[in-house]
Amino acid sequence: MADTKILYAYGNNVDSSGDYVLAPALWVAGVAGVGGGSATFEGSNVNATLSFAPTVIGLLSPYSVTSEDGAHVTLTGTDGSLVSALTGTTITANGGTVTLAGEDAISALSGTTYNIENGGTLMINQVQGADAIAALGGSTVNFGTGGGTLVITPGSNVSILEFPSITGFDQSGATIEIPDATAIASVSQSGDSTNIVTTTGQTIQVQGDFYDYATQHNLFQTTKDGNLYISTTPVNSTGDTGVLVCFLPGSMISTPSGAVAVEDLRENDEVLALVDGQLVPRRVTWTGKARAHVRAGMPDDEAGYPVRILQNAIADGVPCKDMLITAEHCLFFDGRFIPARMLVNGRSIFHDRSITSYDYHHIETEEHSVIMADGMLTESYLDTGNRRAFQQDGNVIRIGEKVRDWAHDAAAPLDVSPDFAEPLFRQIEARAIAAGRENVSKAPVLTDDPALYLLTETNAVIHQIRAANGFVFFMIPPGVQDVRIMSRTARPSDTIGPYVDDRRQLGVLVKDIKLFEGNTTRAITAHLAQNAPAGWYDGWYAPRNVPCRWTDGQSSLHLGVHRATAMRLLCIEILAGGPYAVEKNNTAVTDMPRLTA
């Protein structure tokens, strides 16, 4: 404990790693005190542990802990045994990470409010024991603007975790991560809450209706590196997309007895499947349907608009009539599957914005199959864990079905690489142009101007004073230690083409950042670190062997301490960016305070 630092009362700002105790205003070591305290940990270089000194009136004078700009704070509970619960404490992961280390910390923080925003992460590790489970049941989890990740690692003896006061789960980017789970096994409604059962046997209960696809609250799931990610929007906090695959009513499925509408197929019917180049009958083992509502204001592929493929778009008679499918439904070309959204050209394949609410159907065969719908080779349903989200036809209820995955159970590989997707896209687009198909999609107004500026902790705007040859300069007034690099954003799938499977919102590609103060020049490299602050991405169009990283339009940047009266010059080297759609990225800041040099 000799190296432990004590933080007293409120207003503590911490920008260095170490072990800390947060103590109330009136406190003597080892004796319970009166009052609360607050601490904000800032910067991606910060890796700290924090415990709480006992306080006798935690409810009236609560503790508050915030992790910002990539900082990592591990909470270890109370420093002493006089008080077992810190009711009323607020923990905020605002672009940083907060970890609750073990049952003691979780139990001590009973009645806590947890806020997750701007890409922050809250990690609740090894939840086990009655006290820890009860503490979480009495806590509140709020997902705020910018979303983030709630990581829950239940112990082996835990079957149900209740978060009855979770809010904001429908925020874009809000994600629940369950380590070692592979899929959602089932979803059910319990009053005004939703029970999500994972393949590891745990039930996560959240407030709100995320069960009925007739509402606008849907559940999406994906797996990555052995962990399950659950969100209510298609794109989760990892940037990956949960997939829902389906046919809309009226899609005609080829069967041994002729074409049958997908909504008329039933269990034990037969459909034709392409196996080793031959059409063979396969038995339908399950059918289901659900209802979707478009989410206006999101990009078309994420909003839920169905994709319309016009008759003869692919070849003469393919499809044999206009075909309506969801954006993630896969089509079969050259031995591989590709999502329909990656072939949208605005002419013969486009998002049909006239349809804002619709039913959609699944048909499952004995094995995942390449089947024919409207004369087009496509896929049957592959149960990756979302079967229970659909209304099932018939009276047979399936229990304990094995969850499948694309890597091991798909009838053909999924290929979303540009090398495969772009030639297909160009071929279909050229056919549409030759046929005189007009572009029915409204072309956005584009600009190469990223509208770059800085935003301080007090929401004051700092405008650039000069930009030349890829370098942008800002004068930093005294007192400013942290800023966000604000700009327009664009998705590579929009600005380059849908054949690029990158739907992240990217701002500008940043190489070097330098800060000049008097005769001193300091390089800022936190944005290039493995654990970069919030809002920095690896990815598209990054030159090889050149250290650089993309912003997300509001990336955090810690400038560090400085002399209180000194002006500083910040230089940011921009390698790429845009073009940007003007309408969707209005960066007007007329209502914000402005700082000028």
**Predicted local confidence at residue 416, as pLDDT:** 93
Q: How confident is the model at residue 251 (pLDDT cuts 50, 70, 90)?
A: confident
Beta-sheet pairing, 307-309 with 466-468: unpaired
**Predicted local confidence at residue 337, as pLDDT:** 93
Q: Which of 61-65, 360-364, 487-491 has the lowest mean pLDDT?
A: 61-65
For the four alpha carbons of 222, 224, 227 and 232, in that order, the dihedral sign comes to negative
Q: What is the mean pLDDT of residues 224-249?
A: 67
How far is Cα 74 from Cα 41, in angstroms, rounded to an integer?
11
**Predicted local confidence at residue 187, as pLDDT:** 64
**Predicted local confidence at residue 387, as pLDDT:** 42
**Predicted local confidence at residue 273, as pLDDT:** 92
Angle at 165 between CA 164 and CA 169, to 5 degrees: 100
Q: What is the mean pLDDT of residues 120-126?
A: 82
User: How far apart, in Å, do the first and last CA atoms of the chain sit?
Assistant: 45
| pLDDT tens-digit series, residues 149-191 | 988 776 544 444 555 567 788 777 888 888 877 666 656 666 6
- Asked whether residue 360 carries a pLDDT value surpassing 90, the answer given is no
- Asked whether residue 207 carries a pLDDT value surpassing 80, the answer given is no
Q: Which helix (H) or strand (E) holds 391?
A: strand 391-392
**Predicted local confidence at residue 97, as pLDDT:** 94
Q: How confident is the model at residue 389 (pLDDT cuts 50, 70, 90)?
A: very low
Q: How confident is the model at residue 307 (pLDDT cuts 50, 70, 90)?
A: very high
- Asked whether residue 382 carries a pLDDT value surpassing 60, the answer given is yes
Peptide bond into 319 cis (omega under 30): yes
User: Smallest Cα–Cα separation from 66: which of 46, 38, 43, 86?
Assistant: 38
Identify which has the larger pLDDT, 279 or 128.
279
Q: Where are the domains of the chain?
A: 5-231, 252-434, 446-595
**80-89, 104-113, 167-176 — most confident range:** 167-176
Q: What is the mean pLDDT of residues 412-441?
A: 94
Q: What is the mean pLDDT of residues 502-530?
A: 92
Q: How confident is the model at residue 26 (pLDDT cuts 50, 70, 90)?
A: low
CB 293 within 8 Å of CB 357: yes
CATH architecture of 252-434: Beta Complex (2.170)
**Predicted local confidence at residue 47, as pLDDT:** 94
**Predicted local confidence at residue 256, as pLDDT:** 94
